[in-house]
Amino acid sequence: MGKSEPALYLGAARAEHAERIEDPALLRKSGEAASPMIGQALPLREDIRFLTGTGCYVDDIKRPDMAHAMVVRSALAHARIRAVDISAALALPGVLAVYSADDIRDYALPIPQRVCALPGLERFLQMPLADERARYVGEPIAMVVATSRAIAQDAAELVQVDYEQLPAVVDVHAALADQVILHDGPGTNLASHYTVGRGDADAAFANAHYTRSEVFNIHRHTALTLETRGFVAEWDAAAGRMQVWGGSKVLFANRTILASMLKLDEQCIDMIEVDIGGGFGVRGDFYPEDFLVPFAAMKLGRPVKWIEDRREHLMATNHSREMECRLEIAVSADGIILAMRGLLMADMGAYTRTNGGVGPGKGTQFLQGPYLIPHLEFEVQALMTNKTPVGTYRGPGRYESTFFRERLLDIAAVELGLDPAEFRLKNLIPPEAMPYDAGALVPGLPSTIYDTGDYPLVLRRALAEADYPALVAGRGRGADGRLYGVGMGCFVESTGGGPSEDARIQVTPDGRVELFIGASSAGQGHETVMAQVLADELDIGMDAIRVFHGSTTLVKRGFGAYHSRSAVMSGGAIVLVAQRLRQQLLAHVAASSGRAVESLTFARGAVRGSNDGAVLATLESLAQQASAGSVQAASALAAEATFSNDNQLTYTGGTQIAHVAVDTETAMVEVLRLLTVEDVGRMINPAVVHGQTIGAAVQGLGGTFLDEFVYDEQGQLLTGTLADYLLPTATDFPNVDGVSMEHARSLSNPLGVKGAGEGGIIATGAALANAVADALSPLGVQITRLPLSPNNIARLIRDAKARPGPGN
């Protein structure tokens, strides 16, 4: 087959986007004027304190008589713990306590799974301190508490652990062989094993015109937040109350776990959110230190602080991404994908973390991506190794599955003689198929329903924005001797995880409005974005609103900030609570004035007559009534509401296109441009969405080219400092662009919004790998694994040049 001319199918894209496409059926029916604040690219209020150094992070929390903790971590990846000698540490002046597994036995419980509990993973849960056996470098063995951090660090070095070293298991194939067993109870390293699918994949493959199989690998890496993890815990024995500062993401869920361990009622624990220096999925879930620090504070009767250092972060905070996938595709003679099947092997590390199942679970769920593939069959093997346990990292399972699928699509397109864009356009789910049932591909979860979207439209927009015909024309060796290539990746992303979220409003005595939400913030701009929503719903100015978020003291319950859910779930709760407040105010003024409620309206922050618009009561005047003792006014000025989406997720669709130049002499790749186009339904604050998109894309660039955890055969982490674990700098990837569309709004929340925090990372590995493979295609290089580091690229080029064949 000959290659199609790109211009043949690009013309429509430019015409379609001459103006924004809005489907009236998808617009929110509010009965009010167009929102003046939603859609405004306002600067973030919270940025002022961040930029001026006046933020309050966990290490800024200082309590009277506060002690400091240090964690003693395993130096070996796999070993029996014969004894832990703490005598020298206890003898050091200033040391208050040293805790080992024996000291916490009456309290500590295995840390439970929170989400995506794949069958079998419950057998591999972690205790807060290792008991009898250490299973990864960095596993907590003891905790020292002293009057200063320096003394605690010195004392930690005096704790002597007597190890009996055991053979380490450091890759999934060795784990599957079960020659060395990490956990005696289960008697196997295969933690979870299942098959999911739909249709008849085997029959489709048997009758296909073309089939192709390839094995892909993604390396282990994680998020490097600006601020490491940390906690301050304070126990008030007289009141029977525990306060904990430093948690994030899912404070209510973590409170439940902590309460069960400390044998306290949940209401006796206050999880207080402070400013957070980045989360990206790795911070905020329940780690061993989440128990150890409050436990020490309770036992010592004084506040205890623990702040993770950077090496601890690299060895102890959740790792992510490491997977191998053998993926097969079946295609008809006219280029239609008939079926896909595969085996996904996920390296889970030494234990199941609270969200460890998300990677493999969502990895297979999204292997089909945004394509209309009738027959699917995916086998999953989640395997335990002697490495740091894995958890979620921005776009968990999506980044991995998109790399696997989109690489295979490009390989197939080349072998079928199809342009990669044409091949994708043939197979993307059409808008008329929405809502689209993508099947039940995660054990214990319902069928995946893509709610709204026009994926071909998004791809065409990306091709137009990138000037794809010009990029295709410029492929090959340039005048500078470098090889130029272009690659793309299409993706779908689930957002707005349920089940519900709470919001509460209180009008203050001066007539201002305080908004309280349960969702945590780690850079998403809640104090601005949520105020924009409330400003519109109450028709008041932004300066009259103050937003409080995250802490368990604010609302009755909250489900946190993950799964790109804050705008969807908290935004929905804000709409409902604002509606309730308006109804209460109208009812109160109607009762006090003798008017019918129907004759009143709430507009521009005041109760007014519906006919003449005359002001009958302002928020300030009603607040004054409450201050004067009016119980009715006070009741009307406070409202609570819960928004529930019945776990109906909402899905974005996007495309990323990469243009690269590869120097075959130095193996250096220059990213000339990385473009992300994503339909997010509706933007509350376009500046925030754009920032999230660009930030996610840069994280994806780092993860694709630089970030990598490397272990030796003994399970020692070789890239455990920032001298070895590489990160992108501000100048490494200057050409990163993003376009956020507002075409297909969500139908599952009153704002019509979809989450926008993760889309920018999802297809980066795929698009960049496809672009590098396209550039190196004259050499016959095939890209099947990440990272695209200079060493790996150089090896591929060297091997290609050593093979006899065209161009060599």
Query: Helices 398-416 and 420-427 sit at what angle, rounded to 10 degrees?
Result: 110
Q: What is d(CA 690, CA 415) in angstroms, rounded to the nearest whole number?
A: 37
- Distance in angstroms (rounded) separating the CA atoms of residues 773 and 662: 10
Which residues of the chain fall short of a pLDDT of 50? 1-34
Residue 730 CB burial class (10 angstroms; 0-12, 13-18, ≥19): exposed
Q: From residue 336, how far is each of 7, 372, 620 by CA, in Å? A: 21, 9, 64
Question: What's the longest Cα–Cα distance across the chain?
Answer: 94
Query: Is the C-alpha dihedral spanning 17, 19, 25, 30 positive or negative?
Result: positive
pLDDT for 805: 63
User: What is the CB neighbour count within 10 angstroms for residue 112?
Assistant: 15
The H-or-E segment that residue 546 falls in is: strand 545-549
- Measure Cα distances from 452 to 161, 265, 324, 425, 584 in Å: 57, 42, 31, 18, 35
CB 538 within 8 A of CB 578: yes
Q: What is the per-residue burial (b if ≥16 Cβ within 10 Å, else e) of 584-619?
A: bbbebbbebeebeeeebbbbebbbbeeeeeeebbeb
Closest CA to 162 of 84, 90, 98, 88: 84
Nearest to 284 by CA among 142, 129, 393: 393
- Other C-beta atoms within 10 Å of 711: how many? 22
- At residue 46, φ and ψ (nearest 5 deg) are -70, -20
Q: Which of 569, 551, 436, 445 is nearest to 502 (CA)?
A: 569
Question: DSSP readout, 468-520?
Answer: HHHHHHT-EE-TTS-EEEEEEEEEEEEE---SEEEEEEEE-TTS-EEEEES--
Please state, in angstroms and rounded to a whole number, the distance separating the CA atoms of residues 679 and 652: 6
What is residue 108's three-state secondary structure?
coil
Q: What's the pLDDT score for residue 457? A: 98
pLDDT value at position 801? 86
Structure tokens at 357: 């199942």
CB burial of residue 179 (10 Å; 0-12, 13-18, 19+): exposed
Q: Which residues of 532-541 are buried (b: 16+ CB within 10 A; e: fewer)?
A: bbbbbbbbbe
Omega cis (within 30) before 728: no
Q: Where are the alpha helices (DSSP H) in 594-679?
A: 619-627, 631-636
pLDDT in tens, 518-540: 999 988 999 999 999 999 999 99
- Cα–Cα distance for residue pair 120/116, rounded to 1 Å: 12
Q: Which helix (H) or strand (E) holds 104?
A: helix 101-104
- The enclosing H or E element of 639 equals strand 638-644
H or E stretch at 329:
strand 323-331
In 67-139, the DSSP E strands lie at: 67-73, 79-85, 95-99, 133-134
The rounded Cα 504 to chain-centroid distance in angstroms is: 26
Number of Cβ within a 10 Å radius of residue 105: 11
Phi, psi angle pair for 410, to nearest 5°: -65, -40
Residue 646 has a pLDDT of 85
User: Residue 90: CA atoms inside 13 Å, Cβ hemisphere, count?
Assistant: 9
Q: Are 567 and 574 in contact (CB under 8 A)?
A: no
Q: Please tell me the distance from the alpha carbon of residue 259 to that of residue 269, in angstroms, as a whole number.
A: 7
520 close to 569: Cβ distance less than 8 angstroms: no
